[in-house]
Structure 1
Amino acid sequence: MSEIDKRNRLSEEPFTYQTTKKGTVAIYYKGKQIKIIKDSEAERLIARIKQVEDNLIEVQLLLAKITGNFKRGNEKKIGKSKRK
């Protein structure tokens, strides 16, 4: 078992990406756009994805790493009131 994905979440393929004609990369998590990569960073990401495109887990890991640690469990719930 990989130490990086202990809960085997990346095998569910939660991340997808889309490249544009301008060379930007939009990254989606479970269908919701979470980040847009531009310029040289987008070029590096596309090149790296092409290197590992045969391994879906590696692609998922690249997308997860570039988005950063955006899911920490402390996101605000919409529609819930705060208690004091």
Structure 2
Amino acid sequence: MPGPAGFAYEQRADGTIVVTHRRTVAATLRGSRARVFLDEVASGEPQLVMARWTGNYRRGNERTARQHARNRAARR
């Protein structure tokens, strides 16, 4: 299963990080959060890190999967 795609980030001169998803601003990070973000991007998979930081790692099918018969039986 392919990971998320379409993320990019820009580091501005004032230290602000702007994360975009398909050319739309998804997050703006400043200060210590921006430094932590840069460390994570440098050490891991950048697309997955940006998806996690922006909250765009869910695909909308969680409710459908939760209601599926095989998953309802497991919760009882």
TM-score range, shorter chain: 0.5 to 0.7
Q: Report the structure number with the largest CA radius of gyration.
A: 2
Which of the residues 40, 45, 60 maps onto 1:48? 40
**What does residue 62 of structure 1 align with?**
49
Q: Percent identity?
A: 25
Please, what TM-score do these two structures have when normalized by structure 1?
0.60
- Normalized per residue, which structure has more helix? 2
Residue deviations 1:7-58, cap 9 Å, x none?
A: x242xx3100000111111010011112101110100111221223xxxxx1
Q: 1:30 and 1:59 mapped to 2: Cα distance?
A: 15
Alignment of structure 1 residues 30-49 onto 2, 5 Å:
30-49=22-41
User: Which AA in structure 2 matches 1:61?
Assistant: L
Residues 51/9 of structure 1: CA separation in 2 closer, same or farther (3 Å cut):
closer
In the TM superposition, structure 1's runs of 4+ consecutive aligned residues that sit over 2 Å from their partners are 69-73
The alignment's C-alpha RMSD in Å is: 2.1
Alignment coverage as a number of residue pairs: 60
**What does residue 19 of structure 2 align with?**
27
For 1:22, what is the secondary structure of its paired residue?
Answer: coil
Please, what TM-score do these two structures have when normalized by structure 2?
0.66
